[in-house]
C-alpha cells in the first residue's frame, strides 16, 4: 500500500462521511420519482444498521451482514408500502411512524449487542491502481459499500433516464392516472420502488454499523436519514447531483472539524443547518409550477392513488 | 345508622388498604433520561445507578425509567406522569430538566425530586453532580506522560462551564507533568453522534494529536484511535472494549452509591433537600483500570497517587497558580478556585489552543 498522506486521509474521511447519505438518498430518489414520499429513511437506516451488525457478529460474514442490512430495510419499507399503497394511508404520517417504529425496534433488537466491537469492513484494494499517489487510495482502496454507492448512482441514473422501465417509473410519478389508464400497474411499480428505497436505506445503515463506526449504539444514525431526505430535494431529483450533494455535505462537515483544529472557529450549528436551508429554498422554488417542472420534481409526489377500476 | 355503618366500613377498609400499602408496596422510583440507555455513556451510567438501587433493595423498590426525553415541554409531561403514577422519588438526569422538575415538584409536595447538574432547589428538590474534573485532571497527567507529539486532541460537545472546566482540568493535569504539551479542541455541537465524533477524532489525529479524549458520549473516538494507532481516554463508562490497545483509561460516572443512599433516606424518612457535588472521595467518579499494556508502571503509579491525593483533599486540581491562555494570572499560588468560580468557568487556561466559542 502506498504511504498515506494527510491530504489523502482527510479525503478518505470525506468519502466515508458522504457514503451513508449517498446510499440512502439514492434509494429515496427512486422512491420519490415514482411519486411516493417515504419519510421513514431514518428508521429504515437504523433497522438496517442493527440487523447488519447482528448478522455480522453472529455469523462472522461481511456479506451476510450487508445482505441482512438491505433485507431489513426492505422489510421495513414493505410495511410502509402496504400501509400507503394498499390501505391508502397518508404517506407523511406513515413515513414518520416508520421512523419512530424503526428507532424503537432497532433499540430493542440491539440491546444484547451494545458495547461489542467488531472489525471494520475490510477494504477491497485493487492492485496497481491503488498505488497511484493521492488518487490511488482514494479511488481504489475502499470497502465494498463505498464502491457500490457510487456504482448505484450511475446505475440509477441509467435506469431512470435511459431505460424503458425507468421511463415507466417516472411516468407513474408524474401522472399516476395517465399511467394507470394506459395499463401500467401503479401500485406494483410503486411497491418495487419503495422496496428499493428500503434496501438502499438499509445499506446506508449497514455502512454505519459495519464500516463508518463499527459498533452498535442506539440512534447511531443521528439524523442522517433526514439529511438524506433533504439531499434528494437539494439535488432536484437528479442522481448525479445527489452524489455531488452528499460529497459536498461530507466535505463541509469534515473541513469544519479541521478548521477548528487549526484554530478557526465556525459555528457548527450554521453548517448543520445548511442542507436543510437549501432544501427549504428548493421547496420554495418548486412551489411555483413552472420551476417545479424545470427542477424535475415528480408531479404526483405524495399524492394518494385511488385506483377506480 | 345505615350511614354510620357505611362510613365505618369505608374507614375500616381504607385503614386496612393503606396499612397494607405501607407494609407491602415497594417504593416506586422514577428516572428520566436524556439519551438511550444504550448510549454506552452518560445515560448508560445513570441506568447503571438505577440497577444498583434495584440490586441493593430488591423487591422493596420498583424502578422505572423513561429514556430519550427532550429537554423542555416533553420533560415536564414525563416528570408529571411519573409523579402521578406514584413514584415517590424521581431522578431527572439532564441539565435542561431543571425548570420542569421545579415546576412539577410544586404540584407534588410529597414526592422527592433529585435533579442532576442543576442549581435550582426546593424543599422537595435536591441537586447532585459529580466532580468529573477531578478525573479529567488525572487523565491529563496520564496524557502528559504518554504523549510523544505533545498534542492532545479533545472532542468537546457544547461550550458550557461543565465542558470548559473539564478541558481546563485536563490541561492543568497535562502541563503539571509536561509543560510543553498543548490541547487542540474540536467542538462537535452534539452530545451523541458516533459518526461525527469519529470524524472529529480523525481530524485531530491528522493534525498531529497522538492522544484523543472526549466530552461526548459515544465510543467512536476510541475505535478511530485504535485504528489509527494512537491512544485514547474514554468518558463516562469503561470504553476499553472499543480500543483494547488504544484505551489508556476512562473516567467513569458512578451514580450507584448516591442513588442507593438517597433511596435509603426516603425509606427512613430522613431525606432532605440539598446539593451534593462529589468526586473521588464520594465515589461518584472513579477511573477505570489503567491499561498496563500501553502505560508504564511508573505512569500508572503516578495516576493512582494523584487519585489518592485528590481523594484525601491534599491536591485540588484547580489550586493556583493558574494562568489563562494569554498568561494573565487567574489565581496565585496557595489559593484555590472556589466552587462558584468553577461552576461559572468561561475561559481557557494556558495550554489550550484556539479560542473559546462564545
Residue-wise pLDDT for B318-343, tens only, equals: 998 999 998 899 999 889 999 989 98
Dihedral sign computed on CA atoms, order B71, B73, B76, B81: negative
User: In whole angstroms, what is the distance from residue B180 CA to residue A58 CA?
Assistant: 47
Question: B203, B208, B216, B246: which to substitute to probe chain A, counting the most A Cβ within 10 Å?
Answer: B203
Contact between A215 and B242 using a beta-carbon 8 Å cutoff? yes
Contact between B206 and A9 using a beta-carbon 8 Å cutoff? yes
Burial tier of A271 (Cβ tally within 10 Å: 0-12, 13-18, 19+): middle
Q: What is the pLDDT of residues A108-134, one digit of tens each?
A: 999 888 778 788 888 887 777 767 776
Check for a shared fold between B11-130 and B132-252+285-343: yes
Residues 6+ apart with CB under 8 A from B79: B30, B32, B90, B92, B97, B100, B101, B104, B113
**DSSP-derived secondary structure for B281-337:** GGTSEEEPPP-TTTS-HHHHHHHHHHHHHHHHTS--TTBSPEEBTTS-EEE-TT-B-
Residues 6+ apart with CB under 8 A from B173: B136, B137, B138, B139, B140, B141, B142, B143, B144, B306, B317
What pLDDT was estimated at residue A27?
97
Domain ranges of chain B: 11-130, 132-252+285-343
CATH 1.10.3470 fits A6-294, yes or no: yes
Mean predicted confidence (pLDDT) in B192-197: 89
B139 at A interface, C-beta within 8 A:
no
Contact between B185 and A260 using a beta-carbon 8 Å cutoff? yes
Confidence band for A49, pLDDT divided at 50, 70 and 90? very high
What ipTM does this complex have? 0.80
User: In whole angstroms, what is the distance from residue A204 CA to residue B319 CA?
Assistant: 49
Maximum separation of any 2 CA atoms in chain A, in Å: 66
Cβ under 8 Å to B: A residues 80-139: 107, 110-111, 114-117, 120
User: In whole angstroms, what is the distance from residue B94 CA to residue B39 CA?
Assistant: 14
Which residue has cell 462537535?
Answer: B188
Give the three-state DSSP class for A218.
coil
A105: closest CA among A37, A31, A24, A49? A49
Mean predicted confidence (pLDDT) in A151-172: 96
Read off the DSSP letter of residue A301. Answer: T
Top pLDDT among A270 and B92 is at B92
- Residue B13 scores a pLDDT above 70: no
Top pLDDT among B276 and B192 is at B276
A183 at B interface, C-beta within 8 A:
no
Share of chain B above pLDDT 70, in %: 93
- Residue A2 scores a pLDDT above 50: no
Respond yes or no on whether the N-terminal peptide bond of residue B3 is cis (omega within 30° of 0).
Answer: no
Topology at the third CATH level for domain B11-130: Rossmann fold (3.40.50)
Contacts of B229 in chain A (CB under 8 A): none
- Residue A204 scores a pLDDT above 60: yes
Top pLDDT among A118 and A24 is at A24
10 Å Cβ neighbour count for A63?
Answer: 11
Cell of B235: 468518558
- Residue B264 scores a pLDDT above 90: yes
User: In whole angstroms, what is the distance from residue A243 CA to residue A240 CA?
Assistant: 5
Least confident piece of the model among B66-70, B77-81, B247-251, B314-318: B66-70
Residue A32 near residue A64 (C-beta atoms within 8 A): no
User: In whole angstroms, what is the distance from residue A71 CA to residue B117 CA?
Assistant: 43
What pLDDT was estimated at residue A70?
97
Domain ranges of chain A: 6-294
What pLDDT was estimated at residue A282?
74
- Residue B40 scores a pLDDT above 70: yes
Q: How close, in Å, is residue A116 to chain B by CA atoms?
A: 7
Confidence band for A277, pLDDT divided at 50, 70 and 90? confident
Question: What's the half-sphere exposure (Cβ side, CA atoms, 13 Å) at B18?
Answer: 5
Which residue has cell 392516472?
Answer: A177
What pLDDT was estimated at residue A268?
64
What pLDDT was estimated at residue B16?
47
Residue A225 near residue A42 (C-beta atoms within 8 A): yes
Mean predicted confidence (pLDDT) in A211-229: 90
Least confident piece of the model among A59-68, A130-139, B92-101, B222-231: A130-139
Residue B130 near residue B278 (C-beta atoms within 8 A): yes
Pairing type for strands B329-331 and B322-323 reads antiparallel
Mean predicted confidence (pLDDT) in A84-107: 94
- Measure the CA angle with vertex A150, ends A147 and A154; round to 5°: 130
User: In whole angstroms, what is the distance from residue A161 CA to residue A167 CA?
Assistant: 7
Contact between A261 and B357 using a beta-carbon 8 Å cutoff? no
Contacts of A115 in chain B (CB under 8 A): 40, 219, 241-242
Give the three-state DSSP class for A300.
coil
In chain B, whose CA is at the least distance from the CA of A111? B38
Q: How close, in Å, is residue A257 to chain B by CA atoms?
A: 6
Contact between A217 and B218 using a beta-carbon 8 Å cutoff? yes
What pLDDT was estimated at residue B160?
87
Q: How close, in Å, is residue A131 to chain B by CA atoms?
A: 20
Cell of A28: 429515496
User: In whole angstroms, what is the distance from residue B212 CA to residue B224 CA?
Assistant: 9
What pLDDT was estimated at residue B20?
45
Which of B195, B241, B353 is nearest residue A115 as measured by Cβ atoms?
B241
Contact between A272 and B189 using a beta-carbon 8 Å cutoff? yes
In chain A, whose CA is at the least distance from the CA of B228? A9
- Residue A100 scores a pLDDT above 50: yes
Which of A110, A208, A212 is nearest residue B38 as measured by Cβ atoms?
A110
User: In whole angstroms, what is the distance from residue B52 CA to residue A234 CA?
Assistant: 49
Top pLDDT among A275 and B149 is at B149
Mean predicted confidence (pLDDT) in A234-263: 86
What pLDDT was estimated at residue B241?
86
Question: A46, A215, A249: which to substitute to probe chain B, counting the most B Cβ within 10 Å?
Answer: A215
Q: Distances in Å between the alpha carbon of B310 and those of A58, A284, B174, B339, B350? A: 44, 59, 16, 15, 22
Dihedral sign computed on CA atoms, order B84, B89, B92, B97: positive
Read off the DSSP letter of residue B68. Answer: S
Read off the DSSP letter of residue B228. Answer: H
Share of chain A above pLDDT 90, in %: 57
User: In whole angstroms, what is the distance from residue A71 CA to residue A205 CA?
Assistant: 11
Contact between A257 and B188 using a beta-carbon 8 Å cutoff? yes
Q: What is the pLDDT of residues B244-262, one digit of tens each?
A: 999 999 989 999 999 999 9
Contacts of B189 in chain A (CB under 8 A): 268-269, 272
What pLDDT was estimated at residue B343?
87
Least confident piece of the model among A2-11, A14-23, A102-111, B140-149: A2-11
Confidence band for A289, pLDDT divided at 50, 70 and 90? low
Considering the four listed CATH numbers 3.40.50.2300, 3.30.70.100, 3.40.50.920, 3.40.190.10, the one that applies to the domain covering B132-252+285-343 is: 3.40.50.2300
Phi-psi sector, B183: left (phi>0), alpha (psi -120 to 50), beta: beta
Contacts of B242 in chain A (CB under 8 A): 115, 117, 215
- Give residue A131's Cα distance to chain centre: 30
Top pLDDT among B68 and A63 is at A63
What pLDDT was estimated at residue A32?
96
> What is the three-state SS of B9-48?
HHHHHHHHHHHHHHHHCCEEEEEECCCCHHHCCHHHHHHH
- Residue A3 scores a pLDDT above 60: no
What pLDDT was estimated at residue B167?
96
A285 at B interface, C-beta within 8 A:
no
User: In whole angstroms, what is the distance from residue B289 CA to residue A104 CA?
Assistant: 34
Burial tier of A96 (Cβ tally within 10 Å: 0-12, 13-18, 19+): middle
What pLDDT was estimated at residue B283?
92
User: In whole angstroms, what is the distance from residue A170 CA to residue A31 CA?
Assistant: 10
B159 at A interface, C-beta within 8 A:
no
B241 at A interface, C-beta within 8 A:
yes
- Residue A8 scores a pLDDT above 90: no
Cell of A48: 438496517
Burial tier of A266 (Cβ tally within 10 Å: 0-12, 13-18, 19+): middle
Residue B273 near residue B309 (C-beta atoms within 8 A): no
10 Å Cβ neighbour count for B123?
Answer: 10
Kindly report the average pLDDT of chain B as a whole number: 90
Q: What is the pLDDT of residues B269-325, one digit of tens each?
A: 999 999 999 999 999 999 999 999 889 999 999 999 999 999 999 999 999 899 999
Residue A214 near residue A121 (C-beta atoms within 8 A): yes
User: In whole angstroms, what is the distance from residue B243 CA to residue B225 CA?
Assistant: 7
Kindly report the average pLDDT of chain A as a whole number: 88
User: In whole angstroms, what is the distance from residue B325 CA to residue B290 CA?
Assistant: 30
Amino acid at each position: 500500500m502506498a504511504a498515506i498522506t494527510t491530504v489523502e486521509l482527510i479525503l478518505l474521511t470525506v468519502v466515508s462521511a458522504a457514503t451513508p447519505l449517498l446510499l440512502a438518498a439514492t434509494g429515496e430518489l427512486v422512491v420519490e420519482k415514482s411519486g411516493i414520499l417515504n419519510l421513514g429513511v431514518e428508521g429504515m437506516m437504523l433497522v438496517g444498521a442493527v440487523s447488519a451488525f447482528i448478522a455480522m457478529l453472529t455469523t462472522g460474514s461481511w456479506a451476510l451482514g450487508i445482505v441482512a442490512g438491505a433485507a431489513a430495510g426492505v422489510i421495513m419499507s414493505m410495511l410502509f408500502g402496504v400501509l400507503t399503497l394498499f390501505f391508502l394511508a397518508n404517506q407523511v404520517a406513515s413515513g414518520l411512524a416508520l421512523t419512530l417504529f424503526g428507532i424503537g425496534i432497532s433499540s430493542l433488537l440491539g440491546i444484547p449487542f451494545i458495547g461489542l466491537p467488531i472489525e471494520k469492513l475490510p477494504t477491497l484494494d485493487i492492485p496497481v491502481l491503488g498505488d497511484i499517489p493521492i488518487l490511488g487510495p482514494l479511488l481504489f482502496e475502499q470497502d465494498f459499500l463505498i464502491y457500490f454507492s457510487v456504482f448505484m448512482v450511475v446505475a440509477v441514473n441509467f435506469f431512470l433516464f435511459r431505460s424503458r422501465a425507468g421511463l415507466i417509473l417516472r411516468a407513474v410519478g408524474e401522472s399516476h392516472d395517465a399511467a394507470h389508464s394506459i395499463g401500467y400497474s401503479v401500485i406494483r411499480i410503486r411497491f418495487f420502488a419503495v422496496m428499493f428505497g428500503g434496501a438502499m436505506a438499509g445499506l446506508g445503515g449497514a455502512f454505519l454499523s459495519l464500516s463508518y463506526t463499527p459498533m452498535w449504539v442506539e440512534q447511531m444514525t443521528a439524523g442522517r436519514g433526514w439529511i438524506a431526505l433533504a439531499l434528494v430535494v437539494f439535488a432536484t431529483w437528479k442522481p448525479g447531483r445527489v452524489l455531488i450533494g452528499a460529497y459536498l455535505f461530507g466535505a463541509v462537515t469534515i473541513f469544519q472539524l479541521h478548521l477548528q483544529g487549526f484554530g478557526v472557529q465556525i459555528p457548527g450549528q450554521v453548517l448543520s443547518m445548511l442542507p436543510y436551508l437549501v432544501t427549504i429554498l428548493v421547496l420554495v422554488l418548486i412551489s411555483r409550477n413552472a420551476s417545479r417542472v424545470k427542477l424535475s420534481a415528480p408531479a404526483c409526489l405524495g399524492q394518494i392513488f385511488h385506483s377506480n377500476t | 345508622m345505615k350511614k354510620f355503618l357505611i362510613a365505618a366500613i369505608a374507614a375500616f377498609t381504607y385503614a386496612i388498604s393503606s396499612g397494607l400499602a405501607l407494609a407491602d408496596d415497594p417504593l416506586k422510583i422514577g428516572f428520566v433520561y436524556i439519551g438511550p440507555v444504550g448510549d454506552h455513556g452518560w445515560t448508560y451510567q445513570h441506568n447503571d445507578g438505577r440497577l444498583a438501587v434495584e440490586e441493593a433493595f430488591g423487591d422493596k423498590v420498583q424502578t422505572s425509567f423513561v429514556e430519550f426525553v427532550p429537554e423542555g415541554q416533553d420533560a415536564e409531561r414525563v416528570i408529571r406522569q411519573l409523579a402521578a403514577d406514584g413514584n415517590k422519588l424521581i431522578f431527572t438526569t439532564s441539565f435542561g430538566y431543571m425548570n420542569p422538575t421545579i415546576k412539577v415538584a410544586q404540584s407534588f409536595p410529597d414526592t422527592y425530586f433529585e435533579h442532576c447538574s442543576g442549581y435550582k432547589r426546593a424543599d422537595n428538590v435536591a441537586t447532585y453532580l459529580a466532580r468529573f474534573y477531578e478525573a479529567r485532571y488525572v487523565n491529563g497527567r496520564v496524557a502528559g506522560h504518554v504523549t510523544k507529539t505533545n498534542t492532545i486532541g479533545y472532542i468537546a460537545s457544547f461550550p458550557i462551564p461543565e465542558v470548559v472546566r473539564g478541558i481546563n482540568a485536563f490541561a492543568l493535569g497535562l502541563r503539571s507533568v509536561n509543560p510543553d504539551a498543548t490541547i487542540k479542541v474540536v467542538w462537535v455541537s452534539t452530545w451523541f453522534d458516533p459518526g461525527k465524533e469519529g470524524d472529529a477524532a480523525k481530524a485531530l489525529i491528522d493534525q498531529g494529536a497522538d492522544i484523543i479524549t472526549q466530552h461526548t458520549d459515544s465510543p467512536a473516538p476510541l475505535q478511530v484511535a485504535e485504528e489509527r494507532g494512537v491512544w485514547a481516554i474514554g468518558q463516562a463508562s469503561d470504553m476499553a472494549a472499543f480500543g483494547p490497545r488504544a484505551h489508556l483509561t476512562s473516567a467513569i460516572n458512578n451514580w450507584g452509591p448516591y442513588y442507593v443512599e438517597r433511596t435509603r433516606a426516603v425509606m427512613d424518612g430522613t431525606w432532605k433537600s440539598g446539593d451534593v457535588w462529589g468526586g473521588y472521595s464520594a465515589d461518584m467518579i472513579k477511573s477505570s483500570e489503567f491499561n498496563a499494556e500501553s502505560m508504564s508502571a511508573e505512569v500508572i503509579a503516578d495516576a493512582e497517587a494523584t487519585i489518592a491525593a485528590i481523594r484525601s483533599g491534599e491536591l485540588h486540581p484547580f489550586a493556583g497558580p493558574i494562568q489563562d491562555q494569554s498568561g494573565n494570572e487567574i489565581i496565585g499560588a496557595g489559593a484555590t478556585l472556589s466552587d462558584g468560580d468553577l461552576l461559572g468557568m468561561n475561559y481557557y487556561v494556558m495550554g489550550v489552543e484556539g479560542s473559546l466559542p462564545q
